[in-house]
Chains A and B, each alone.
Chain A
Amino acid sequence: MTKEEAQGAAEEEQQAQSKKGLKKQQKEAEKAAKKAEKQAKLADEQQSTEEDDFAKDRYGVSAMIQSQQKLDRVLVRIQDLSPEKADQLIWLRARVHTSRAKGKQCFLVLRQQQFNVQALVAVGDRASKQMVKFAANITKESIIDVEAFVRKVEQKIESCSQQDVELHIERIFVISQAEPRLPLQLEDAVRPDGEGEEEGRATVNQDTKLDNRVIDLRTTTSQAIFRLQSGVCLLFRDTLTKKGFVEIQTPKIISAASEGGANVFTVSYFKTSAYLAQSPQLYKQMCICADFDKVFCVGPVFRAEDSNTHRHLTEFVGLDIEMAFSYHYHEVIDSITDTMVQIFKGLRDNFQTEIQMVNKQFPSEPFKFLEPTLRLEYTEGLAMLHEAGVEMGDEEDLSTPNEKLLGRLVKEKYDTDFYVLDKYPLAVRPFYTMPDPNNPKYSNSYDMFMRGEEILSGAQRVHDAQLLTDRAVHHQIDLEKIKAYIDSFRYGAPPHGGGGIGLERVCMLYLGLHNIRQTSMFPRDPKRLTP
């Protein structure tokens, strides 16, 4: 190529470049123009949406309630929502159980304990699009205040407890927001195990439930169980008070192990150490010697048993009874069994809703009992077991499987889930048990069973200081350690007896549940110290 040609070519190239450059520039300019247009449009829209949010002050996250003001506002309970309140404008505070947006509407289920109701926010002249969007985004379990009209519905809402009404929301405010990721879902926690397996849906295992107890206790099943447990305590107190019993409080920090050395917790007590009480046994008896005649106490019991079973806790609530009697310890048995029967009747008559609610997740047979309570002698029980092919010695204690088998045999023969086994062999009872007057191998002691599992161990107590000393020596117990106890019988002591039941065990067996941790709010076992 010649210089001129090269020059020419370069010029051409330049021209071509500038043509390309022009095109490029043009394209870029177009792009920029489009972008600017879009941005302008967005800004326009945003402005318009903000402008359109006419419902801005009818929803939102409230400032934290620090008692800034006293509002003269009545909050209605969900359980009181019925067609009677139709068309009323009410305020209520509840948790968001679920929220689901469907186009221009948002359906919420609001929950208070075991009651829930459907609520609805719909785009209209009262609610804006943004308000519906806000409602749909409220996290589950958040606590909200709503002002709403109660409206009757033609078709029953099967999935809620309040089936005849629904709420049409006017105002909705979040009082306490829940974090979006819950450690467990309430529907999963309430799902029966079998159903979970069948349908492939999740259930929550017990450890997760216990680790996040606060959320697990919100489920309908848990609410029902603990309301029933509260009922048991109430019925226990009421029945015994009517019978003339006095409630006492006994110390839990004690100087010597009451039931026998192995299973006590030791605590440091200033310069020495002390123990946590395994039972109020010794103090109940001292109260009888102090002329209180009939006493009961409700309080914690601490057993340092390293048993990881379905029915043992290291700390549980003991309901203990002790009473003086006139001539025969069967007066005590009759009093205790009558109290238990009154409790069963009270639960059956007043807590059916709770029982049904628990049965939804944990189906079981209703609890059966006889009136008067069935009382079998230990030898009779042994005979029934022998008939069924079990080999057991006359003075042997019942093992747990044999107890359960005997419970089944008794249920089959007498049709009762609750019975008393009387006259246990002396060898297997504690040192303070009164021996049988006619047969030195046996004792005036008894156990009571619910659904084949032991709930109460009781007896006539030795009220003579000398005999008590002899029995203690026979059991190789250090007399120094129980000197104060023996002394209390030296200044006139009436014949007396009693027994103690575990609150959690009674609830578990009444409801037909299988693990005692389900009936203990914050259970304690060898592996669990929190929550």
Chain B
Amino acid sequence: MALRELSSLEKYLGLKKPNKYSTQGDKKVPVLQNVNGPPLVGLVTVACHLVREAKRPELLGDCAESRAVVQQWLEYRVTKLDGCTREDVKTILKDLNLYLQDKVYMAGNRFTLADTFMFYGIHPLIVDLAVQEKEQYVNVTRWFDHIQHYPGIRHPLPPVVVLRNKIYSSKHH
């Protein structure tokens, strides 16, 4: 899963030569052999390296504050989101829904790596939601629909249908 994300990211960044990755440990943490130094271990580390290689530093945040927020969400993805249990899903979606209430992107005012990796992490949860639940977490769904339409991000994951109009009225049925 993580390897597929990295190869998607490479395609998005337009890196010509795809890297060869190996994995370590039973959590299948991706490892990138580096000619210039020690191997890079970890999804976030490798991703940040790729971004710098592709000379797209703005994807990590354009000011100090947004850079910090991007790192925060990348860490959240790897620690809280991956391998979360069924009971955690509701809490995670509720928290995200509250966070995204007044934001278009996860960090700052532009598309960053935080959006990419939170998208990949959230996708398996959103795919299983019923229409009523998608309406309940309306901000998460809105952000998700926005990101999944970004060219080069969603593929090869299946698209999630998001209805334009609310079909469950505010009164609980």
Give the segment of B36-44, B45-53, B89-97, B160-168 that binds chain A. Answer: B160-168
- The reply to whether A388 and B169 contact each other, CB–CB distance below 8 Å, is no
Answer yes or no: A256 CB below 8 A from chain B CBs: no
Chain B contact residue count (CB 8 A cutoff): 11
Contact residues in B for A363 (Cβ distance below 8 Å): 171
- The reply to whether A405 and B131 contact each other, CB–CB distance below 8 Å, is yes
Contact among B160, B161, B168 for A408, CB-based, below 8 A: B168
Give Cα distance in the complex from A387 to B160, angstroms: 11
A365-399 Cβ-contact flags toward B at 8 Å (1 or 0): 10000000000000000000001110000000000
CB interface residues, A 394-420, toward B, < 8 Å: 401, 405, 408-409, 411-412
Instruction: Return 21 A-B CB contacts under 8 Å, by A number.
Output: A363-B171, A365-B169, A365-B171, A387-B161, A388-B131, A388-B161, A388-B163, A389-B131, A389-B160, A389-B161, A401-B130, A405-B131, A405-B167, A408-B131, A408-B167, A408-B168, A409-B167, A411-B167, A412-B165, A412-B166, A412-B167
Give Cα distance in the complex from A365 to B173, angstroms: 9
Most buried by A among B130, B131, B161: B131
- Give the B-binding residues of A (Cβ under 8 A): 363, 365, 387-389, 401, 405, 408-409, 411-412
Give Cα distance in the complex from A243 to B146, angstroms: 55
Give Cα distance in the complex from A389 to B158, angstroms: 11
Residue of B nearest to A401 (CB): B130
Give Cα distance in the complex from A387 to B167, angstroms: 13
Shortest CB–CB separation between residue A384 and chain B, in angstroms? 10
Contact residues in B for A412 (Cβ distance below 8 Å): 165-167
Contact residues in A for B168 (Cβ distance below 8 Å): 408
Known contacts A412-B165, A412-B167; can you find 19 more A-B pairs with CB under 8 A? A363-B171, A365-B169, A365-B171, A387-B161, A388-B131, A388-B161, A388-B163, A389-B131, A389-B160, A389-B161, A401-B130, A405-B131, A405-B167, A408-B131, A408-B167, A408-B168, A409-B167, A411-B167, A412-B166
Give Cα distance in the complex from A401 to B160, angstroms: 19
Give Cα distance in the complex from A459 to B60, angstroms: 62
Give Cα distance in the complex from A388 to B130, angstroms: 10
- Give the A-binding residues of B (Cβ under 8 A): 130-131, 160-161, 163, 165-169, 171
Shortest CB–CB separation between residue B44 and chain A, in angstroms? 31
Give Cα distance in the complex from A343 to B165, angstroms: 31
Give Cα distance in the complex from A365 to B171, angstroms: 9
**Leading 9 A-B pairs by shortest Cβ distance:** A389-B161, A408-B167, A412-B167, A412-B165, A388-B163, A409-B167, A388-B161, A388-B131, A405-B131
Residue of A nearest to B168 (CB): A408
Residue of A nearest to B161 (CB): A389
Shortest CB–CB separation between residue A107 and chain B, in angstroms? 38
Contact residues in A for B167 (Cβ distance below 8 Å): 405, 408-409, 411-412
Most buried by B among A389, A405, A411, A412: A389
Contact residues in B for A405 (Cβ distance below 8 Å): 131, 167
Give Cα distance in the complex from A387 to B171, angstroms: 24
Residue of B nearest to A408 (CB): B167
Give Cα distance in the complex from A401 to B130, angstroms: 10
Give Cα distance in the complex from A401 to B133, angstroms: 13
Give Cα distance in the complex from A411 to B166, angstroms: 11
Most buried by A among B161, B167, B168, B169: B167
Shortest CB–CB separation between residue A514 and chain B, in angstroms? 9
Contact residues in A for B161 (Cβ distance below 8 Å): 387-389
Shortest CB–CB separation between residue A402 and chain B, in angstroms? 11
Residue of A nearest to B171 (CB): A365
Give Cα distance in the complex from A388 to B168, angstroms: 13
Contact residues in A for B131 (Cβ distance below 8 Å): 388-389, 405, 408
Contact residues in A for B165 (Cβ distance below 8 Å): 412
Contact residues in B for A388 (Cβ distance below 8 Å): 131, 161, 163
Residue of B nearest to A411 (CB): B167
Give Cα distance in the complex from A159 to B173, angstroms: 29
Give Cα distance in the complex from A408 to B165, angstroms: 11
Shortest CB–CB separation between residue A188 and chain B, in angstroms? 23
Contact residues in B for A408 (Cβ distance below 8 Å): 131, 167-168
Shortest CB–CB separation between residue B124 and chain A, in angstroms? 15
Give Cα distance in the complex from A204 to B52, angstroms: 66
Residue of B nearest to A512 (CB): B173
Give Cα distance in the complex from A388 to B161, angstroms: 6
Contact residues in A for B171 (Cβ distance below 8 Å): 363, 365
Shortest CB–CB separation between residue A371 and chain B, in angstroms? 23
Contact residues in B for A389 (Cβ distance below 8 Å): 131, 160-161
Contact residues in A for B130 (Cβ distance below 8 Å): 401
Shortest CB–CB separation between residue A321 and chain B, in angstroms? 29
Give Cα distance in the complex from A31 to B72, angstroms: 90
Shortest CB–CB separation between residue A406 and chain B, in angstroms? 10
Contact residues in A for B160 (Cβ distance below 8 Å): 389
Shortest CB–CB separation between residue B123 and chain A, in angstroms? 14
Give Cα distance in the complex from A255 to B166, angstroms: 51
Contact residues in A for B169 (Cβ distance below 8 Å): 365
Contact residues in B for A409 (Cβ distance below 8 Å): 167
Give Cα distance in the complex from A405 to B161, angstroms: 14
Shortest CB–CB separation between residue B102 and chain A, in angstroms? 27
